A and B are shown apart, each in its own frame.
Chain A
Amino acid sequence: MMAVRAVLRAVLIDLSGTLHIEDTIVPGAVAALARLRSAPVKIKFVTNTTKESVSTLHQRLQKLGFDIGVGEIFSSLTAARNVVIEGALRPMLLLQEDAMRDFEGISIDSPNSVVVGLSPDNFNYATLNSAFRLVLDGAKLIAIHKARYFKRLDGLALGPGPFVEALEYASGTKASVVGKPEKTFFLEALRSLGCSPQDAVMIGDDARDDVHGAMAAGLQGILVKTGKYRHGDEDRIQPGATAVCRDFPEAVEHILSKML
């Protein structure tokens, strides 16, 4: 069943793996972004990070040569900050120092919520125990995301997920997860553009978190075969991606020629 699409009004773009891979630009991505900007669409850059503040991400992208405004970046930390502000919450922040910058100006006195990102410095018994006591007493538990592990130079290392799980187990509650692939993440990003999901498309290299997540929220989804993409990823999601493109420039070409 093909729904009749309204005019495409917004494009959400993943960062790592889609525009760049570490310190290398995806070939043609800077020019492709400039082309997309000349089309009548709003753009937001959306990313799951628990370590880096928006301003750090912004600096990196500028250094790589991308013409991106700091206000155009919507990260899982931004989403968490929004949840905190909307609930008038005072969070205990289990975050690394740089990520803390996204919470500047927010009161953390006598906390009534716990925000968990990847924060090895805070993943110790004493700090976790303080967080546990808060949550058991009714504080809201907010997870930036629940990744199991990640790759470190010396091998695999535990992500924030296991520690969120530990706090959930201890307190008998469920965390609200704010990053991709949560539906609310995409809706929040679009809300800041004043667009609804049926008017938007998401471009990303993660079939599950970017494409499937966005499509479950009502957006269209374009999978790019760069970054973490592995052969056959497009077959691992149901429904399939709106389009599968070689890279970001091809995705922009697809949008300009077929979706406007």
Chain B
Amino acid sequence: MRRCVTHKLIIKLIMTSRGDDWSSNLQGVLLDISGVLYDSGEGDGTPIAGSIDAVKRLKSSGLKVRFCTNESQCTRQYLVDKLRRLGFDINLNEVFSPAPAACQLVRERKLHPYLLVHPDAVPDFSEFDLELTPDCVVIGDAAVSFTYERLNAAFRVLIGQENPVLISMGKGRYYKETDGLMMDVGCFMAALEYAAGCKAEVVGKPAKGFFLGAVKDMGIQPQHAVMIGDDLVNDIGGAQSCGIKGVQVRTGKFRPSDESHPTVKPDGFVDNLAQAVDFLLKDHAQ
């Protein structure tokens, strides 16, 4: 009960106690997509109430906006098209996703990837010749394509290398679809790490370079940016580790236990994106 009465004050209280009124110095906003803008699921999924309008209001406020997603079930273009169909004001060049970073790693090291990714995400890797014998594994949110035989094929690539290279597009534990929570790429990354005795290199959130790349693209400093996400560890913790503020929404994969996490303390909790934008724009306008 108490939470309901006081939650509107939480952002203010935290800011005051830290003696830095960050939201009035705000210049840019990083938005997570799944669990913040919409919940994926049947068809295009379902927008979260108020989020379509919230993105519009943010964009017309003069604040810079970028979308930071670990979505790897489809290509970036497909994701943008889907969100536009749902009614979101979003453009391809505003979206940061892990696939380009994964490609860059593979390219730089002149490796041949085994793609343990969703079939719809394969076109993001069109620069690689998938007929060649693979010597590294790129893993994404393959969902139903996480079969025993495909995981086994990835495992054999890894166990056959002296220094196995496993590139993971995010390391989330789970995410929310309209009909419930779904295991995310991190689980299968952990399975392969355990089986092959190796450590994955994570691209996408919570890698620092991923957040900093998006902030740099807005032409601002990290301390003038805020990340709004539903994944406490990867969105909020990741952003905070590079000096970006982090606001946790109580939508998507949020669970009440997130409010008492032992190490990650968000700069604010809000019920949803719409409420976050209410607060940010109020403070920004002052």
The smallest beta-carbon distance between A92 and chain B, in angstroms, is 15
Q: Is the CB of A170 within 8 A of B174?
A: yes
Q: Is the CB of A169 within 8 A of B159?
A: no
A-B residue pairs in contact (CB < 8 Å), sample of 8: A124-B144, A125-B142, A125-B145, A125-B146, A149-B195, A158-B191, A166-B188, A169-B191
Question: Is A28 among interface residues, defined by CB-CB distance under 8 A?
Answer: no
**A68-76, A107-115, A129-137, A252-260 - the one binding chain B:** A129-137
Q: Is the CB of A158 within 8 A of B151?
A: yes
A125-B183 Cα distance, complex, nearest whole Å: 8
Q: Is the CB of A162 within 8 A of B182?
A: no
Residue of B with least CB distance to A147: B195
Contacts of B145 in A (CB 8 A): 125
> Restricting to B168-191, which residues have a CB under 8 Å from any CB of A?
173-174, 180-184, 186-188, 190-191
Q: Is the CB of A148 within 8 A of B183?
A: no
> Restricting to B130-163, which residues have a CB under 8 Å from any CB of A?
142-148, 151-152, 155-156, 159
Contacts of B195 in A (CB 8 A): 148-149, 158-159, 161-162
Q: From B143, B151, B180, B193, name the one whose CB has the most chain A CB atoms within 10 angstroms.
A: B151
Q: Is the CB of A169 within 8 A of B180?
A: no
Given the known interface contacts A124-B147, A156-B156, A170-B174, the answer about A161 and B194 at a Cβ–Cβ threshold of 8 Å is yes
The smallest beta-carbon distance between A184 and chain B, in angstroms, is 22
Given the known interface contacts A128-B183, A169-B190, the answer about A162 and B151 at a Cβ–Cβ threshold of 8 Å is yes
> Restricting to A157-176, which residues have a CB under 8 Å from any CB of B?
157-159, 161-163, 165-172
Pick from B143, B151, B183, B190: contact of A132, CB below 8 A.
Answer: B183
The secondary structure that dominates the B interface is helix
Residue of B with least CB distance to A124: B147
> Restricting to B190-213, which residues have a CB under 8 Å from any CB of A?
190-195, 197
Given the known interface contacts A125-B144, A149-B195, the answer about A170 and B173 at a Cβ–Cβ threshold of 8 Å is yes
Question: Is A65 among interface residues, defined by CB-CB distance under 8 A?
Answer: no
> Restricting to A17-51, which residues have a CB under 8 Å from any CB of B?
none
Given the known interface contacts A132-B183, A166-B183, the answer about A123 and B194 at a Cβ–Cβ threshold of 8 Å is no
Contacts of A157 in B (CB 8 A): 152
Residue of B with least CB distance to A146: B194
A11-B276 Cα distance, complex, nearest whole Å: 67
Question: Is A4 among interface residues, defined by CB-CB distance under 8 A?
Answer: no
A159-B195 Cα distance, complex, nearest whole Å: 8
Contact surface of A with B, Cβ cutoff 8 Å: 120, 123-126, 128-129, 132-133, 136, 148-149, 155-159, 161-163, 165-172
Q: Is the CB of B173 within 8 A of A166?
A: no
The smallest beta-carbon distance between B44 and chain A, in angstroms, is 21
The smallest beta-carbon distance between B67 and chain A, in angstroms, is 25
Contacts of B146 in A (CB 8 A): 124-125, 128
Contacts of B194 in A (CB 8 A): 148, 161-162, 165
Q: Is the CB of B191 within 8 A of A165?
A: yes
Q: Is the CB of A126 within 8 A of B144?
A: yes
A93-B76 Cα distance, complex, nearest whole Å: 38
Given contacts A123-B147, A129-B182, A158-B155, could you give 9 more A-B pairs where the C-beta distance is less than 8 Å? Answer: A120-B148, A125-B143, A128-B183, A136-B181, A159-B195, A162-B151, A162-B191, A162-B192, A167-B187
Given the known interface contacts A124-B148, A166-B188, A169-B187, the answer about A133 and B155 at a Cβ–Cβ threshold of 8 Å is no
The smallest beta-carbon distance between A15 and chain B, in angstroms, is 25
The smallest beta-carbon distance between A89 and chain B, in angstroms, is 22
Q: Is the CB of B147 within 8 A of A166?
A: no
Residue of B with least CB distance to A130: B180
Contacts of B186 in A (CB 8 A): 169-170
Residue of A with least CB distance to B194: A165
Residue of A with least CB distance to B145: A125
Q: Is the CB of A169 within 8 A of B151?
A: no
Q: Is the CB of B181 within 8 A of A133?
A: yes
Contacts of B187 in A (CB 8 A): 128, 132, 166-167, 169-170
A149-B182 Cα distance, complex, nearest whole Å: 25
The smallest beta-carbon distance between A215 and chain B, in angstroms, is 26
Q: Is the CB of A123 within 8 A of B174?
A: no
Residue of A with least CB distance to B142: A125
The smallest beta-carbon distance between A172 and chain B, in angstroms, is 7
> Restricting to B228-267, which residues have a CB under 8 Å from any CB of A?
none
A28-B204 Cα distance, complex, nearest whole Å: 60
Q: From B147, B159, B194, name the one whose CB has the most chain A CB atoms within 10 angstroms.
A: B194
Residue of A with least CB distance to B149: A120
Pick from A125, A149, A165: contact of B190, CB below 8 A.
Answer: A165
